[in-house]
Structure formats: C-alpha cells, structure tokens
Structure 1
Amino acid sequence: MIHYQSFINGTWVEGEGIIEVVDPSSGEIFATVSKVTRAQLQEAIEGAYRAFDVWSRKLAIERSRLLLKAASVVRERHSEIAMLLAREQGKALPDAEREILGAADCLEYYAFLGVNILGEVPPPNATNLRSIAIRQPVGVVFAVAAWNYPVSLISWKVAPALAAGCTVIVKPSRETPLSTIAFVKACNEAGLPSGVLNVVSGDNTMISDEVFSNPLVRLVALTGSTDTGKEFVRASAKTLKKLVLELGGHSPFIVFADADLTKAVKDGVKRAFRNAGQICNSVNRIFVEEAIQDEYLRAFVEATRKLTLGGAFDTPVPDVGPMVNQAGLRRMEEFVQDALQKGGKIMCGGKRPADPRLQKGFFFEPTVITNVSPEMKIMMEEPFGPIVAIDTFASVDEAIAKANSTRYGLVSYLYTSDIRKAFLVAERLESGSVAINNISPDSLYAPYPGWKESGVGVELGIHGLEEYLEWKHIKLGI
C-alpha cells in the first residue's frame, strides 16, 4: 500500500496517525498519508520563516531559474503524478495528464513574470524629498489544495508565491493528497532550498487553529467552498492575515435564440458534466430563450443520455467519472429529491447507475432537471456534481436577472451570434469571468476573480502574482 509523509524543511517526516485514501472508482482504500502533529506543523512554519530570509533575498533571476527547473521536473514526472491523481480523484487518466502538464506551464509562466516585478517613482511632495515605492514578498504562505484539481489549483498558488519570493506550506485535500504531495516533491527535486516549499497533511481543525493563530504565517490561499472561505475570513481576524480565496460558484449558461444551437448544446453538456460536475465553474443552471426551448432541451437530453460512465483507467475513455466520495453521492440524491418535491421533472439520470461494473464506485448518472422554480436547491446552491437545471427566459432583462439571482459570482457563460448583445449582457452579469461562445473562462494570462460570495482576491495573470507582494514606500531626503 502506498504511504506518504509530510515534507518539512527538506525532510520527509512521519507524524502520528494516518489518513486513508480511497479510490472513488472502486471504493477501495489504496493508500495512506501520515498526519502531522502540532509540534511538526510549528517546525514547518518556523522553518519556512527562516527560509524566507534566504529565498526572498535571492535575485529574481535565481528564483526564476529554479522555477523553470521545477517546471521541467514536473513535466518529466507528469505520467507518474497523473497516475496517482487519476486513482485518488477518479478523473480519466488523459485529463489527469493534462492537469499535471498545465501545472508545469503555470510554474514556467510565473518564473518569467517573477523577473518583471516593478515598483514606482511617485512625484515628490517637497523639493528636498524623493520617493520610491517597491514591491516585496509578503512572507510565509499557507496554501490549501482543492480535491477536484489538486495539482492544477495548488500550482496557481505555489508558482506566484515562490516567484514573488515567498516561502510556502501546502496542505493537500484529505480526499486527494497523493498527487499534491508528488507535485511538491517534484518541485523540490529541482533544488529549492530547504524550507522554501513544504507539505503537511492532517487534522483540519488543529492545522487551521495553528496557522491562523501563528503570526509567522502572513497569507492564506484557498480554493474551496464558500462556507470554508467564510470560516477562514473569521479566523484571519486573529492576526489580520491576507487572504486569497477562490470559492464556490453556481454558473449560469445563457442561450439566446440566435446562438449556434449545435455548439451551445455540445458545450453545455461538456461543461455541466466534465469531471462529474465537480468544478467550481461547472454549468449548473441553463437559461434558454423561449423560442428555442423545445429544440434545445431535446438535443441536450439526447446528448446527455449518450454519455458514458466509467473509472479513471477504463478504455475507451469514459465521459463521466465518479464522485470523489460517498458524501457527494448523498448530496446529489438530496438535490434530486428536493427538485422532485418542489415540482421538478427529471429528464434523464437522477440516480446511481444500474451497471454492475460501477456498483462499488461513487457514480451518479448525469442528470437534467426541468420545470424548475427559484426555491429549489439546484437553483440556489452549488451542487458540485453531475446535475444541471434548464429554465427559460423571454427577454434579455429576464435572462440577466435569473443569472444574477444567486449569492455566487465566479463565472457566467452566454451564447449568441450578436456581438453587441454579447458585450452588453456580459457587462451586466455579476461574475468575475464571462465566457462568450466558449467554455474556457480561465487563462494563465488573465485575472480570475470571484465576485460576491465566490472569492476574495485574484488568481492567475500578473494580478495573481501581485497578491503575494506588499508595497513599501521609501522616502529620501536630499
């Protein structure tokens, strides 16, 4: 059985107790991870603080070279890391491989950005004074990995933090710790100084209490649920830590009558059910203009019924994998029952599959719900699973009002052939990203913010690097 430890100050450390890792495709325990003790976590924080003095003083080009080497090592190791990711998370192996390579791209991108951190020369406020403003790294960063993209999303934090000159302690998800740990291991094999990049697993309550009460940790970065983000906001008040939070979403997908219907169906199905719907920018609510509602619904349901379910290593590659755990299955059943009790109609799916091959895994059929109403859970809360609701609208204003009706504001999608309409609607949608006629809302090179209760701060692009920097004003008398 695979067993991983924590990596603290350049050394693999065995803790006390274990976390069991389950293969969601089979329901079998196949690995364990050692749980860090409080004393070991304190050593990690203190070591990262000491290493910060060395790492932050390195020339930007020196840090850049090490990040480029880390990207190279991750690419060399991508197949073995992807095998761990596919088994612990359940996503198809080709998708896992793309995720690891994307993480290497992220390291490379921030390696280049890190040598272009610029300050300012403000105008003097007196003839005998001069000002310069410089950017400096914030300090020790505690980065929390998400289980749905445990390598990609942690690279969004590790890469800019290291490029800025911060040191980092990574906490993997309990569901998918192996690939995150393997990613950290690969980065360290590039020759990072001891204490610069660490990884610890363990009890969430103990770790959070220590991290948020320890003044040596200056920034906490998380991809997680909105409820967890709110807990972090409350806890951060103890020492006024900076926060970068990418939280829940409930993405609307608006289809106007003048849209390319074939593309809107294909993209809607893909984004609703990719990774079994376990994506924070997954399509959860589809709003179709009344003139094409019957045609769109018929095509969407037909395409959904053709989707195949299967495990991470099945051939041919399945369209939809398992939920990450039993709790996810129960959550899907709760959403379906809530919709049925409030008058919803299940057009397809709505249950666990009958296929004997899938009985031991955490599979749920791709589900389409119609005849929806605003008070249904599916219209208000993030399901984080393979369930999508389809509703209609009669006007642009109604479409926008329905799209903006939740507490979330991460990503919105809209399909139309009218470019004027597209931009006018995009400007009125209450979300940090709007994808027009595509389902790729994020880019390494552009900001990825969450509006409303979907986040605090920004990830990706130059703005993602700036989150890990502080301003300092230096004033000189002449």
Structure 2
Amino acid sequence: MQYYHSLINGKWEEGEGSFEVTNPSNGEVIASVSKVTLNQMKNTIDAAHSAFKTWSKKLAIERSRSLFKAAAKVREKAAEIGTLLAKEQGKAIKDAEKEIIGAADCLEYYACLGVNILGEVPPPNAMNLRSIALRQPIGVVFAVAAWNYPVSLISWKVAPALAAGCTVIVKPSRETPLSTIEFVRVCNEAGLPAGILNVVSGENALISNEIFSNPLVKLVALTGSTETGKEFIKASAHTVKRLMLELGGHSPFIVFADADLDRAIKDGIKRSFRNTGQICNSVNRIFVEKSVYDQFVKNFVEGAKKIRIGDPFENPAPDCGPMVNQSGVKKMEEFIQDAKTHGGRIECGGKRPEDPKFSKGFYFEPTVITNVTPAMKIMMDEPFGPIVAIDTFSSAEEAVIKANNTRYGLVAYVYTSNIKKAGWVAENLEWGNVAINNISPDSLYAPYPGWKESGIGLELGHYGLDQYLEWKNIKIEI
C-alpha cells in the first residue's frame, strides 16, 4: 500500500494519523494519506505568504515559463497520474488520462494569459492629476479539489492563481486525494520555487478553521456542493475573504419536437450517465415536447439499457464505472424510493447490478424515471449519480418555467432546429451556461458562471484570471 503526505514549503511532511483511500471498483484500500496537524497548517500558510512576496514580484514572463514547464511535466506523466485517478475515482482509464491532459492544457492557457494582465489609465478629474489603475495578485489562495474531477477542476484554480502571481495551498478531496497530490508533485518537480504550490490533507474542520481565521489567506476557491459553499460563505465573514465558488447543478435538458431526436437522445444519454452521473453539469431532468414524448422515452430507455458498466481498466472501456463510495449508492436508493412513493415509474435500472462481479464495488445501474411530479426529490435536488427523470411540456414558456424551477443555475441544454426559439429560450433560462444542440457547455476560453445557488465568481477564460487579481488606483500629481 502506498503512503502519501503533505507538501509544505517544498518538503513532504508526515502528519499525525491517516485516512485510507478505497478503490470504488472493488472496495479495496489502495493508499493511506497522513493528516496534517494544526502547526503544519500554520506553517503552510506562513510559507505560502513568504513565497508570495517573491513570486508576485517576478516578471509575468518568468511565471509563464514556470507554468509551461509544469504543463509539459504533467503531460509527460499523464498516464501515471491518470492510472491513480482511475483507481481512486472509478472513471474509465481513457477518460482519466484525458482529464490529466486537460489540466496540462489549462496550465498552458493561463501561462499565455498571465503575460497579458492589463491595467488602465482613466481620464483625469483635474488637469494636474493622473490615475494609473493597476491589477495585482491578491495573495495566498486556498483551493479545494472536487472528488469527481480532482485534477481538472484543481487546475482551473491553480493555473490562473499562479499566473496572476498568487501562491496556492491545495486541499485534495478525501475520496480522491491521490491524483491531486501527484498533480501538485509533478508541478513542483518541474521547478516551481518552494512554497508556491503546497498540498495538505486531513481533517476538514481543522484545516478550514485555520484557513478561515488566518488573515494571510486572501481567497478561497472551491468546487463542491452548494451546502459546503454556504458553510464557506459563513466562515469567510470573519476575515472578509474573497470567495470563488462553483457549486451544485441540477441541469435541465429541453427537447423540442423539431429537434434532431436521434442526436438529442444520444447526447442526453451520454450527459446523463457519463462518469456515472457524477458531474456538476450532468443531466438530471429531461423535458420533452408532448408530441414526441413517447418516442423519445422509448428510444432513450432502449439506449440506457445498452450502457455497459464495468471496471475502469476494462478493454474496451466501460460506459459507466462505479460511484465513488457506498454513501453515493445509498443516496441513489433514497431517490428511487422517493420517486416510487410519489408514483414514479422506473423504466430501467433503479438498483445495484445483480452480477456477482460487481458485488464488492459501489455500482448502480443507469436509471430512467417517468411519470414524474414536481414533488419528487429528483425534480428538486441534485442526485449526483446515474439517475435521470423525463417530463413533458406543451410550450416553450412551460419548458422554461419547469427548467427554472430549482435553486440551481449552472448548465442547461436545449435541442431545437429553430434558431429563433433557441435564442428566446436561452435568454429566458436562469442558468449561467446554456448549450444549444450540444453537451459541451464549458471551454477554457469562455466564462463558466453559476447562477443562483450554483456559485459565486467565475472560472475559465480571462475572467478566471481576474478572480485572483486586485485593482489598485494610483493617483499622481504632475
């Protein structure tokens, strides 16, 4: 069994006590991660703050070169890190390696953007005065990795923060810490100065209490649940920290009668069950125009039944792997029971697979629910698993009302061949991202906002870099 520790100021330090990491495919323990102590947390923050004084003063091109070197090293180690990710998270090995390559792309993208941080020269308010508006790095950043895409989503934070001139303390998820730790290790091996990029693991309460009470930490970046985000908002008040929160989603998938139904069904199945539904932009609620509802359901269910579940290292790769832990499986069972209680019909799935080869892992069959009502949990709460409900609508207005009837607002999907209809629906959806006739809502080059209870701040695009910069106005008498 492998043992992992925290990286503090360029040195790997063992903490006190440890927690185990389990392979969700078979329930076996694959690694142990030591827990950081309170003194180690304080030392990590002090080291990051000290390193910030030099890193922030480097020329932007110097920071850029460091990020390019880190990206090259991550790309070189993609298979190695991807294997760890597949073992601890359960996604297919090809998808895991793709995630690592995407993290390298992210490092390169912000390496480019980091040399183009521009200020302004506002017009003067007096003839003898001039203003120079600068943007400077905010300081020490605490970045929390999500367990479903632990390398990709942490790169969305680490890359812009380092490019801006900030230093970073990464906290991996307890469910999938290994690939995050390896990502940080590889970036440091590429030549980052000590203290620039640190990683700590351990008890959430101990780490969070020190982070939120320590004034040296200036920004907290999280991808996680809405409930965790709300706790972070409360905790940040004491020292008025800046927050960047990408939280829950409960994505609607709207299909009009004039859509390419074959394409909509294929895309809907993929976005509903990819990574076993454990994605913040996964489809949970499908709304289909009444005239094509029966045909859509029939073909969608047939497609869902063909999804092959399996171990992430199978060849060919499975369509669906295990859930990340046993509690996820229990949560799915609760959603199913609630749907049945409210009259829902389980068209396929709805249970753990019966094949004995899956008995030791955390597997759950891809599930489709019809005859849904607004009172069902599946229509109100994000399952974060392989469950999707299909409902109907009669007009564009009704589709929008149903889609907006949730506290979330991250990603919505619309399928129609009518561009005027698509435009009207997109503008009236209360969602930060709307994908029309596609299931690729995020891009390195565009903002990825969450509306309502799906987040605060922005990731990706040049907007993602802006989160880690402060404005300063310097007024000069001439």
Q: TM-score per shorter chain, which class?
A: over 0.9
Q: Deviations over 1:453-477 (max 9, x none)?
A: 0000000000000000000000000
Question: What is the Cα deviation at residue 263 of structure 1?
Answer: 0.3
Distance 1:449 1:163 in 2: 21
Q: CA deviation at 1:260?
A: 0.3
Per-residue CA deviations over 1:44-73 (Å, capped at 9, x if unaligned) read 000000000000000000000000000000
Structure 2 alignment gaps of length 5 or more: none
In the alignment, the residues of structure 2 paired with residue 40 and residue 207 of structure 1 have an alpha-carbon distance, to the nearest angstrom, of: 10
Matched, 1:165 2:165: yes
Q: TM-score, normalization: structure 1?
A: 1.00
CA shift, 1:130, in A, is: 0.5
Q: Secondary structure at the match of 1:87?
A: helix
For 2:80, the equivalent position in structure 1 comes to: 80
Q: CA deviation at 1:338?
A: 0.3
Matched residues in 1 for 2:249 and 2:384: separation?
9
Supply the distance in 2 between the matched residues of 1:264 and 1:127 (Cα, whole angstroms).
Answer: 61
Deviation sequence 1:331-354 (CA, Å, 0-9, x none): 000000000001000000000000
Q: 1:266 deviation in Å?
A: 0.2
Structure 1, unaligned stretches of length 5 or more?
none
Post-superposition offset of 1:30:
1.0
Aligned to 1:9: 9
SS in 1 for 2:301: helix
- Cα offsets for 1:371-406 (capped at 9, x unmatched): 000010000000000000000000110000000000
Distance apart, 1:316 and its partner CA? 1.9
Task: After TM superposition, list the pairs within 5 Å mapping 1:341-380 onto structure 2.
Answer: 341-380=341-380
Identity among equivalent positions (%) equals: 72
Superposed, 1:80-229 pairs within 5 Å as 80-229=80-229
Match of 1:429 in 2: 429
Equivalent positions of 1:315-464 (< 5 A) are 315-464=315-464
Aligned equivalents of 1:308, 1:17: Cα separation in 2: 39
Q: Give the whole-Å Cα distance in 1 for the aligned partners of 2:180 and 2:45.
A: 19
Code of the residue aligned with 1:439 in structure 2: it is I
Q: How many angstroms apart in 2 are the aligned matches of 1:223 and 1:309?
A: 27
Q: Distance in 2 between matches of 1:263 and 1:2?
A: 44
Secondary structure of the structure 2 residue equivalent to 1:284: strand
Compute the displacement of 1:429 (Å): 0.4
1:52: which partner in 2?
Answer: 52
Q: Distance in 1 between matches of 2:412 and 2:155?
A: 24
Q: Deviations over 1:133-166 (max 9, x none)?
A: 0000000000000000000000000000000000
Aligned residue type for 1:432: G
CA displacement, residues 409-463 of structure 1 (integer Å, 9 cap, x when unaligned): 0000000001111111000000110000000000000000000000000000000
SS of residue paired to 1:119: coil
Q: Which amino acid aligns with 1:310?
A: G
Q: How many Å separate the matches in 2 of 1:322 and 1:220?
A: 30
SS in 2 for 1:369: strand
The answer for the alignment partner of 1:23 in structure 2 is 23
User: Where does 1:220-369 land on structure 2 (aligned, <5 Å)?
Assistant: 220-369=220-369
2: CA distance between counterparts of 1:375 and 1:321?
A: 30
Corresponding letter in the other structure for 2:126: A
> After TM superposition, where is structure 1 displaced by more than 2 Å over at least 4 residues in a row?
none
How big is the shift at 1:314?
1.3
Deviation at 1:312, TM superposition (A): 1.1
SS of alignment partner, residue 262 of structure 1 = helix
Secondary structure in structure 2 of the residue aligned to 1:409 = coil
Give the aligned partner of residue 43 of structure 1. 43
- Figure out how many residues of one structure are paired with residues of the other and give that number: 478
**What is the CA deviation profile of residues 230-267 of structure 1, one whole-angstrom value per residue up to 9, with x for unaligned ones?**
00000000100000000000000000000000000000
The residue type paired with residue 332 of structure 1 is M
Aligned partners of 1:2 and 1:147: how far apart in 2?
Answer: 19
TM, length-normalised to structure 2? 1.00
Query: 1:17 and 1:431 mapped to 2: Cα distance?
Result: 43
Offset of residue 311 of structure 1? 1.0
Aligned CA RMSD, in angstroms, stands at: 0.4
Shift of 1:81: 0.2
